[in-house]
Amino acid sequence: MKLNHLGVVVTDVLATRTFLETSFGLTGIGRAGRRMTHLHDEDGFALSLFAGEQASEVHIGFIQVSEGAVNAIYDRLRADGFEMEPPRRSHGWTFSVTAPGGLIVEVVC
């Protein structure tokens, strides 16, 4: 069975949706509201964002094909003003960024 939907709580639904659309290419499904919104990727995975006072203690991840791809995303996010630790060797070549709204996003290969 394929996992194809996840719902998480964030502190700012609209800012998190915009970040995921512009930085990672997710596509919004329907109208974005302040309390709830939905996005999907090109494989049909659906991510639901729900408003709350504290972000969920989970993270989402974008697996890349190479260290160069991880580095390119890191460089782009830094240029966009996001603060994060540089990529490092862990369970792969990886870094994490906290999106607006408190959602933690990992990029790894």
| CA nearest to 22, candidates 79, 65, 93, 67 | 79
Residue range 4-55, pLDDT digits in tens: 999 999 999 999 999 999 999 999 998 888 899 999 999 999 999 999 999 9
How far apart (Å, rounded) are the C-alpha atoms in residues 67 and 43?
Answer: 22
In angstroms, the CA 76 to CA 82 distance is 9
pLDDT in tens, 72-93: 999 999 999 999 999 999 999 9
pLDDT attached to residue 33? 87
| Alpha-carbon gap, residue 107 to 100, rounded angstroms | 16
pLDDT reported for residue 1: 84
All domains of the chain, ordered by start, with CATH?
Answer: 5-108 (3.10.180.10)
d(CA 54, CA 66): 33
Query: In this structure, are residues 36 and 47 in contact, taking their beta carbons and an 8 Å threshold?
Result: no
Supply the DSSP symbol for 12: -
